[in-house]
C-alpha cells in the first residue's frame, strides 16, 4: 500500500491519530491511513520477542526536536541490519499507545528505506 501523505514528525500528533479514527472501520476497501516520513535518524534499536523477531526503533528528525518510536512485529531480516546513526525514510501507520496512564504517539512500521549514510 502506498502512503496516503508525506508528513513531518512534528505533524504526527495525538489529535491527528484521533482524527484518523473517524475514518473507521478499516478493511480491504478502506485501509488504515499511512504516512511517509523522510530523513529521520535512528537513535535507538531494540529487538524484542523470544527470538528477537520484533523491532522497535527510536527516530529523531533533522531538527532534533521531534522524535517517534516505531514498531515492526516479525520484522524482515534485512531490517535487523539497521544501525544507530543511519538516516532513513519510513512509512508508518500512526497509533496511540497507552501504557501506565501515559499516552504516546507511535508508529507501526510498514516500510523503511535507507538513505545515503
Ordered per-residue pLDDT tens for the chain, 117 residues: 788 899 999 999 999 999 998 888 898 888 899 999 999 999 999 999 999 999 999 999 999 999 999 999 999 999 999 999 999 999 999 999 998 999 999 999 999 999 987
Residue in the structure block whose three cell numbers are 504526527? 12
> Judging by DSSP bridges, how do beta strands 67-72 and 102-114 pair with one another?
parallel
Give this prediction's pTM: 0.91
Amino acid at each position: 500500500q502506498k502512503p496516503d501523505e508525506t508528513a513531518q514528525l512534528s505533524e504526527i500528533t495525538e489529535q491527528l491519530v484521533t482524527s484518523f479514527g473517524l475514518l473507521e472501520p478499516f478493511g480491504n476497501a478502506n485501509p488504515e491511513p499511512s504516512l511517509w516520513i523522510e530523513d529521520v535518524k535512528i537513535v535507538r534499536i531494540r529487538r524484542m520477542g523470544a527470538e528477537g523477531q520484533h523491532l522497535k526503533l527510536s527516530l529523531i528528525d533533522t531538527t532534533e526536536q521531534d522524535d517517534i518510536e516505531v514498531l515492526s512485529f516479525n520484522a524482515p531480516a534485512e531490517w535487523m541490519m539497521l544501525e544507530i546513526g543511519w538516516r532513513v525514510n519510513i512509512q508508518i501507520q500512526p497509533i496511540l499507545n497507552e501504557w501506565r496512564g501515559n499516552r504516546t504517539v507511535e508508529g507501526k512500521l510498514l516500510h523503511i528505506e535507507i538513505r545515503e549514510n
